[in-house]
Amino acid sequence: MSNRSGVIFFSVLLGLISIYYLSFTFVSKHYKDKAQAFATDAEGKVDFTKKQRFIDSLWKEKVYLGQTLQQVTERELGLGLDLQGGMHVVMEVSPADIVKGMGGNNAKAAAFQQALKNATQAAVSSQSNYVDLFVREYKKLAPDANLALLFSNSANRTHININSSESEVISLLKTELDGSVDRAFKILQARVDKFGVANPNIQRLPGSNRILIELPGIDNPERVRRLLSGAAKLEFAEVYNLNEIGFGLDQLGAFLFKKQEAESAAAKTTAATAAKDTTAAGSDLASQLAKRSTTDSTATDTSAINKQNAALTNLFIPISNSALGVQIKDTARANEILRNPEVKAMFPGDLVFMWDRKEMSGAPGQTLLPLYFIKKPGGVAPLEGDVIVDAVGDFDQYGKPEVTMRMNGEGARKWRTLTAANIGRPVAIILDDLVYTAPNVNGEIPTGNSSISGNFTIDETKDMANVLKAGKLPAPTHIVEEAVVGSTLGSEAVTKGLISSLVGLIVVLAFMVVYYSKAGWIADIALFINLFFLMGIMASLGAVLTLAGIAGIVLTIGMSVDANVLIYEGIKAEIEEGKPFGQAVQDGFKGALTAIIDSNVTTLLTGSILFIFGTGLVLGFATTLVIGLITSLFTAIFITKLLLDYQVQKGNKLAFASGLTKNWFKDTQFDFVSQRRKFYIVSGVILVIGIASFIFKGFGLGVDFKGGRTYTIRFEQNVSTDDVRQVFTDALGEAPEVKTFDGFDQIKLTTDYLIEDTSVEADRKAQDLIADAAAKVPGNKGTIVSSSKVGPTIANDMIYSAFWAVLLAIVVNFVYIFLRFRNLAFGYAALISLAHDVFVLLVVFSLFNGWIPFISLDIDQAFIGSVLTIMGYSMNDTVVIFDRIRSYLNDPKSRKESIPVIINNALNKTLSRTAVTGITTMMVLVVLMIFGGEVLRGFTFSMLIGVIVGTYSSLFIAAPIVVDSLQRQRAKTPETVAAVVETPAKAAKKTKS
């Protein structure tokens, strides 16, 4: 290998990077285990508040390679919700509420209300922008209406007037809708931070007014629904200066001193015990408390007052006349203290403790979170956000960024009173109980037009304007998709995922050694390196490992041997021609390279489409599949070559077949081509049966394609689906869909009960109803272990995205085949073969739906993911065959032979590779079906059927179609057949010459 040193250098570098990023996962787990041990009492009970205090105490502390615990946790290889439990939510900003708010008083008109209703109904089955739908519906009801008159009001006067064009009004509505989604995103981001969840995921879904939120480890879904739903709460309130509450702060200092004295003895005892562990010395919470108490007790000034002051400022650090700061590591402890009724009684009854929305730097090594003391008489702020008309980021007379805001008449009057009473004092701007800023009032503001200045950046003024505008429009967010996975299911999924991975790995490793003898060990070493690189790259990219991701890894194990198989089959062929071992290795690699690249690129293209269009299970699968394909390609081409070259240099001659397998597929003479019309008939019969099944039976649609609520319910013992269905029919007033799920003691129930209602109350009502009914099954109580909800709009969007994903995959693969083989015969054959595979799979899912126990044959996102993966696999298989056909057609020795003979020879020559790759892939899929759990069973079943059908179509559909096409071409222009199948490189070379 000419670039041997470069490959070694890059491999070592990639290995070190993988070790570096994977190490964060182990370090994070180490500290989580320490937190668990610290919070566990002698009886084995865990104090979660104490556990959180331990984590907080180290959150901003450097614990590993100069990284804080927060940074370590952020860099660990995270687990998806299906592996640790938690909640997945898709929030949607109500476009109808935005348009209604923009209309002001005109929105009360009957035509306006009806247009909103019609547009909302149309949005369920349309991909058009909501504003366009509303305008269309309103024009139907009032054809001569002037949109400028409809939306020209005091709130919008800076943007449009009665003379504005219709396009300007529509542009404003779309801008406000998009801006509302941005504001909702920032608000939800702040709300998510309140949950204290490790590695939450929140992102705006492109091209929609939806926001995705994932909260691992959440065990209180009701709290999540309550906090995430509803409009933002924007308030303006007075702030107590510290000197006004001095007496309360003195009492708080005395309280903390007493509490500190009580904790000191316990902390010293705990620290003394912990000191036995030299690795933990000085790093855990107990040690820190002991050090803190020692420092306090040895203070030079031992007066009671100074001790109390020290106790106060040790936790609450003065940072301004109106705020105290608390170190991030102490915020959990501070919250615990501030919630104490005894502490609350020390301060005025109208005082409310509120945190700032962002951290600030304190003394060297300190990160503080400001705490404000807000005045809210009767718990109500004197001014709320509904008075805001507009807010924009601007620049003051000196060119510094500032925010200007405008209020309506009522707001201007209240704002004048509030500012007049607080000249020289701060007024807090609060969103969802977080202080966004507390600027000083320089003078009375009589008009309601104000500017907020400070040391702001341009981005900060944009954020502030968004915050102020959050109170302008009634824009509540609704949950349109939801999934709750219990921690029990999560732990079971981890176990099943690990078992399926290990069994799949062992099966493939054993097969490679059995089939390829000593050379199989080299393939196995390359496979281990591939898995190591795969996990390292996932960790470096911040990818989340899901159960579907584990399935992707297992499938990668099966498919990654394909490149090695192509190489080994090439080397075997060269050895059989009598070449020396070293030369056979070189020529075998060279001959297999084109097929390896083409086959992997087609699979990679399909995997990329999966990644772009997929969500949830499909996205997790696609992530590991795409990364796995890339690492497999690298290890097969470079690592395997490196290991084989080493054997050549050592003078070793490896066997590429065992005594059992050396004659498998040797000198096969199967006549594929002459039987092609029989296979066309077989596929035609399946086509007719499928059309009949589609018409008379149809498909079972999964909840993500039809909308609805799904609950996984576990019973104390085995249960009859008929008995359970009757219980839930009585409770719901309609018959739900009930299927066994992962055993006879567990069912999956699907219903469209209250699915049109997006309120939190509807979610709670449905959940309570299902839970009550499950508990009333005679003699067999059931418990909900997971749930999900998909609204009708989401379901419709998923159907559209699934359709376009499949269509795009077909088109992309057709284009690639045409570009690589420069002949439409190959493109058409690939296209028909892919369509054939998808159709046969649809036939199986329609015809056998409801007949196969424990396997869901519903058409859903997982099915679409399996279809796309099968298309990639089928193309992989087909391209390898096409590559060999092209090679034979370009071989001068084959020019005098007929096209059927040439293609038959090519098919027989690749039969060994087709069989070995198919066998290994099917073996790991069978392992996944057995050990992977119910969640993946339908997905894996469709993959297994697809691999069988894909292998069949490559041999008996795609190749025969090429035969027929090339024969027609030869009949018309005999001299062009060989030329049109040349590789692009060879064609370009001829053109140049």
Q: Is the confidence at residue 1, as pLDDT, over 60?
A: no
Residues 6+ apart with CB under 8 A from 454: 402, 437, 439
Backbone angles phi, psi at 369, to 5 degrees: -115, 115
Residue 547: pLDDT band (50, 70, 90) is low
Supply the pLDDT for residue 422: 92
324 versus 476: which is more confidently predicted?
324
Tell me the CA end-to-end span of the chain in Å, nearest whole number: 30
SS (H, E, C) 616-631: HHHHHHHHHHHHHHHH
| pLDDT tier for residue 668 given thresholds of 50, 70 and 90 | confident
Question: If pLDDT is split at 50, 70 and 90, which confidence band does 237 have?
Answer: very high
* C-beta of residue 216 within 8 angstroms of C-beta of residue 225: no
> Residue 934 — pLDDT band, cuts 50, 70, 90?
low
Query: What pLDDT, on the 0 to 100 scale, is given for residue 415?
Result: 92
Contact 560, 628 (CB under 8 A): yes
Pick among 3.90.1570.30, 3.40.640.10, 3.40.50.1220, 3.30.1360.200: CATH of 382-473: 3.30.1360.200
60 backbone dihedrals φ, ψ, rounded to 5°: -105, 10
Q: 708-790: same fold as 382-473?
A: no
Sign (positive or negative) of CA dihedral 96, 102, 105, 106: negative
What confidence tens digit (pLDDT) does each residue in 186-220 have?
Answer: 778 777 776 656 567 787 876 677 888 888 767 66
* 600-627 pLDDT, tens digit each: 787 788 778 877 776 666 677 778 888 8
Spatial separation of the C-alpha atoms in residues 673 and 124, rounded to whole Å: 49
- pLDDT tens-digit readout, 240-262: 999 999 999 989 988 888 877 77
Q: State residue 980's pLDDT score.
A: 44
Percentage of the chain lying above the pLDDT 90 cut: 7
Q: How far apart are CA 767 and CA 327, in angstroms?
A: 40
User: Shortest CA distance to 965 belongs to which of 834, 814, 826?
Assistant: 826
pLDDT digits (tens, 9 = 90+) for 499-521: 777 887 788 888 888 888 888 88
- Domain ranges for the chain, please list them: 4-76, 90-231+478-482, 382-473, 486-654+673-696+797-988, 708-790
Pick from 75-89, 349-363, 687-701, 900-914: least confident: 75-89
Tokens of 389: 């008309």
Query: By the 8 A CB rule, do 21 and 536 touch?
Result: yes
| Helices marked H in 848-958 | 861-890, 899-909, 911-931, 934-953
Number of neighbours of residue 367 by Cβ within 10 angstroms: 16
Residues 905-931: what's their mean pLDDT?
81
Close Cβ partners of 352 (under 8 Å, ≥ 6 residues apart): 373, 374, 375, 376, 379
Has residue 438 got a pLDDT over 80? yes
Q: Which whole-number Å values give the CA distances from 13 to 16, 17, 19, 330, 560, in the listed order?
A: 5, 6, 10, 40, 22
The sheet carrying 449-453 orders its strands as: 388-395, 401-407, 449-453
The least confident of 475-484, 818-827, 874-883 is: 475-484
Is the pLDDT assigned to residue 477 strictly greater than 80? no
CATH 3.30.70.3400 fits 708-790, yes or no: yes
Please report where in the chains the tokens 């509807």 appear, as a residue.
Answer: 762
Position 324 scores a pLDDT of 93
* Main-chain phi, psi angles of 235, to 5 degrees: -140, 155
Whether residue 481 has pLDDT greater than 80: no
Q: What is the mean pLDDT of the chain?
A: 79
**What's the pLDDT at 291?**
44
pLDDT digits (tens, 9 = 90+) for 125-183: 677 888 899 999 998 888 888 888 888 887 777 788 888 888 888 998 888 888 888 88
Contacts of residue 711, defined as CB under 8 A and 6 or more positions apart, other chains included, come to 748, 749, 770, 784, 786, 787
Give the span between the Cα atoms of 623 and 679, in whole angstroms.
36
| Confidence bin at 16 (pLDDT 50/70/90) | very high
- Strands 201-204 vs 544-545: parallel, antiparallel or unpaired: unpaired
Contact 647, 571 (CB under 8 A): no
Q: What is the pLDDT of residue 373?
A: 95
